[in-house]
Amino acid sequence: MNRTLAILPLMLSFLGLKTPAGALSVGDEAPRVAAPDQNGTTVNLADIYAKGPTLVYFYPKADTPGCTAQACSLRDAFPDFTGQGVQIIGVSADTAEAQKKFAEKYNLPFMLLADADGVVAKAFGVPTAMGFAKRQSFIVRDGKIAWIVQGAKTGDHAAEVKAALQELGLGGAR
């Protein structure tokens, strides 16, 4: 085993990061977990996947500069995504109330999940630091992980996702 890879878990631990044992790869079954949305309604992700391709993106904290830029990037391109049949779900450790305020403040037209207990992040294998999920995004197609990006760009995240959709044959990048 590469020596650097062998010490990676120790380095992440030292930095206060947790790497979930179940990190996902392209082709894996998408996690079928449930969490409350910004309205407090429990959402089963398997039901969402059944409706078509889904972007599930994780962000550290609602209404912070980077997370706002990322959400607004997706908001501004939302008509392009829905025109391609793509659903968007944002996930953070915030409460449903904080997610609702965030969605209302920035007119976010997509669902935000409140993952205060970290169940969704853990199911997706998203690393956390001090209770905050690292920025990571997944495209789910036909119930399987079709694309993953770690450290998603904040202000240009929509462009990243559009390029991935184009590569996956799920629509043209506009």
Do the Cβ atoms of 4 and 120 come closer than 8 Å?
no
CATH fold of 17-167 reads: Glutaredoxin (3.40.30)
List, for residues 100-143, the tens digit of each pLDDT value.
999 999 999 999 999 999 999 999 999 998 889 999 999 999 99
List, for residues 73-85, the tens digit of each pLDDT value.
999 999 999 999 9
Q: Catalytic annotation on 72?
A: no
Partner residues linked to 91 by β-bridges: 58, 113
Report pLDDT for 174.
41
Domain ranges of the chain: 17-167
Active-site residue, from 30, 43, 48, 67: 67
> How distant, in Å, are the alpha carbons of 22, 32, 81, 96, 97 from that of 174?
34, 31, 10, 32, 34
Reported pTM = 0.85
